[in-house]
Amino acid sequence: MNNSNELPYTKVVLVKYGEIALRGNNRSAFENRLCGAINKSLGGTSYSVTKEQGRILIQKKEIDDELDYDYVVKRVKLVMGIVGICPAIKTENQDIEHLRELALLYIKQIAPKGEFSFKVESKRSDKRYPIKSNEVSALIGEHIFESMENASVRMKNPDILLKLELRTDAYMYIDTIKGVGGLPYGSTGRGMLLLSGGIDSPVAGFMAAKRGVLINCAYFHSPPYTSERAFIKVQDLAKRLSDFTGGLTFYKVNFTDVQLFLYENVLHKRLTILLKRAMLIISERLAKREYCDCLITGDSLGQVASQTLAAIRAQSSAATLPIIRPLAGMDKIEIINLAEQIETYEISIRPYEDCCTIFVDKHPETQPKQDIIESIERQLWDKGLSDLIDAAVVGAERILV
């Protein structure tokens, strides 16, 4: 139907974004960043993404190239800061007679039988347009009502709400698909995500990013107990996250020596807690290097032994930065659903473990005491733990994804 001779229009997508964070000088920078993120999410070079007076307009660069609504919606849906996505049609000819015909054609395509109630809403951002918005709505509504026998007008909860926006060009649309929402990426501050190859931590990273946190990642690698493929898997997860964030910094920490030291020096039922503390200590040092204000973990309350409140308390004092746990209140199934939506799930279920089962005790302590754990750590600190942690931080490899 693209560009039919009588009623020329083009398929486009209008993107609405939250206005909350758009203050003063930030606005333009944010809009540019959003355009960039949308462009990246679409992939390829066939789209044009431009600012259009409080909206972002996505269209095909080539006029004869028809835009695929489903594809664009699917890709753009996960870009942070977008509130709504509207598959729309665009026309340059704003003559009222033309708009009336076009609206009728558009409605007929969607509901050919005409058994529906409807309402037309118009908006002029160009106030020089000769007819007031209400009158435009009325003129169009009248034409549809008169041309389609079974159509009725209803002001409250109509079956079809046809929206018309008169800007440089005119746009019509019916559906608004909900976006991820959230805040512009990076507007809240910076955080260091403890990223593993599991299902949870990438989702936690996504949730934090959605609330405007700029994400850095720390990954703990322990060769020969974990394989190179486990690292590649985590790197792929980071790459996937970077699709939403437009690039991120990734630290590969060699954790083997710390892990072995603790394995040899603590009761195995306490190993997990002390390992997690060591990871937090290392992550915090890397976080400070990247000017981060928080650590982010994929902990979900009570999911495993190390996620009881007692265990979380016994770990948390290892860090002085606040630890954000975006998944705290989510069930595993909710986490999996979100992981599927953001397409990290397929990567996470690859069979390469990032912690060797040797270091996972069958019966870890579920009610560890913070003071006891801390005193064990203090005793080990000068016996070598401190040096090993220093070495892990110094040796961490910084990778840009």
Partner 1 sequence: MKDIVYFDNAASTKPTAEVMGAFNKACNDCYGNPSSAHSAGVKAEAIVNESKNVIASLIDASCDEIVFTSGGTESNNMAIFGIAERYKRSGNHIITTKTEHPSVSAPFKSLEQKGFKVTYLDVCDRGYVNEESLYAAVCDDTILVSIHHVNSEAGTIQKIDKLSESVKSKNRETIFHCDGVQAFGKIPINLKNVDLYSMSGHKIHCVKGIGCLYVKKGIKISPLLYGGSHQGGLRGGTENSMGSAAFGVAAKTAYDRMNESHQKVLEVKNRILEIADGDRILINGDKNNSSPYILSMSFLGKKGEVLLHYLDDKGLYVSTGSACNERKKSDSGLAHFGYSKDRVSSVIRFSFSRFNTPEEADYCISVLKEALEIIV
Among 41, 226, 272, 300, binds partner 1 (CB under 8 A): 226
Taking the complex as a whole, the smallest distance from the CB of residue 366 to partner 1 amounts, in Å, to 24
Among 161, 260, 393, 401, binds partner 1 (CB under 8 A): 260
Those residues with Cβ within 8 angstroms of residue 383's Cβ, 6 or more apart along the chain or in another chain: 265
Taking the complex as a whole, the smallest distance from the CB of residue 224 to partner 1 amounts, in Å, to 3
3-state secondary structure 210-253: HCCEEEEEEEEECCCCCCHHHHHHHHHHHHHHHHHHCCCEEEEE
Q: Is 145 helix (H, G, I), strand (E, B) or coil?
A: helix
43 vs 395 by CB, closer to partner 1: 395
Taking the complex as a whole, the smallest distance from the CB of residue 312 to partner 1 amounts, in Å, to 28
Instruction: Check the CA dihedral 204-239-47-110 and report its sign.
Output: negative
Query: CA 80 to CA 181: how far, in whole Å?
Result: 6
Taking the complex as a whole, the smallest distance from the CB of residue 353 to partner 1 amounts, in Å, to 9
Query: CA 142 to CA 333: how far, in whole Å?
Result: 49
- Segment contacting partner 1 (CB under 8 A): 35-43, 97-105, 260-268, 373-381? 260-268
Query: CA 25 to CA 30: how far, in whole Å?
Result: 9
Per CB under 8 A, 263 contacts partner 1? yes
223 vs 322 by CB, closer to partner 1: 223
Taking the complex as a whole, the smallest distance from the CB of residue 226 to partner 1 amounts, in Å, to 8
Those residues with Cβ within 8 angstroms of residue 347's Cβ, 6 or more apart along the chain or in another chain: 202, 233, 236, 237, 240
Per CB under 8 A, 329 contacts partner 1? no
Among 185, 225, 244, 251, binds partner 1 (CB under 8 A): 225
Element (H, E) at 134: helix 133-147
Among 264, 329, 333, 400, binds partner 1 (CB under 8 A): 264
Per CB under 8 A, 360 contacts partner 1? no
Taking the complex as a whole, the smallest distance from the CB of residue 379 to partner 1 amounts, in Å, to 21
Per CB under 8 A, 5 contacts partner 1? no
Give yes or no for a contact between 36 and 243, defined as CB atoms under 8 angstroms apart: no
Among 25, 351, 363, 394, binds partner 1 (CB under 8 A): 351
264 vs 382 by CB, closer to partner 1: 264
CA 369 to chain CA mean position, Å: 36
Query: CA 91 to CA 221: how far, in whole Å?
Result: 55
Per CB under 8 A, 362 contacts partner 1? no
Taking the complex as a whole, the smallest distance from the CB of residue 231 to partner 1 amounts, in Å, to 11
Among 7, 356, 360, 401, binds partner 1 (CB under 8 A): 356
Query: CA 52 to CA 38: how far, in whole Å?
Result: 14
CB-count exposure of residue 351 (10 Å: 0-12, 13-18, 19+): exposed
Taking the complex as a whole, the smallest distance from the CB of residue 199 to partner 1 amounts, in Å, to 16
Count the residues of the shown chain that bind partner 1, applying the rule CB under 8 A: 13
Angle 386-395/256-265 helices, nearest 10 degrees? 160
263 vs 345 by CB, closer to partner 1: 263
Query: CA 400 to CA 250: how far, in whole Å?
Result: 6
- Segment contacting partner 1 (CB under 8 A): 152-160, 184-192, 222-230, 236-244? 222-230
Per CB under 8 A, 261 contacts partner 1? no
CB-count exposure of residue 360 (10 Å: 0-12, 13-18, 19+): middle
Residues 227-256 interacting with partner 1 (rule: CB under 8 A): 227-228
Per CB under 8 A, 223 contacts partner 1? yes
Per CB under 8 A, 390 contacts partner 1? no
Taking the complex as a whole, the smallest distance from the CB of residue 259 to partner 1 amounts, in Å, to 9
Per CB under 8 A, 62 contacts partner 1? no
Please give the structure tokens belonging to residue 316: 């948390």
Which DSSP category does 357 fall into?
Answer: G
355 vs 392 by CB, closer to partner 1: 355
Backbone conformation region of residue 186, classed left if phi is above 0, alpha if psi is from -120 to 50, else beta: left
Taking the complex as a whole, the smallest distance from the CB of residue 82 to partner 1 amounts, in Å, to 37
Per CB under 8 A, 357 contacts partner 1? yes
Residues in contact with partner 1 by the rule CB under 8 A: 223-228, 260, 263-264, 351, 356-358
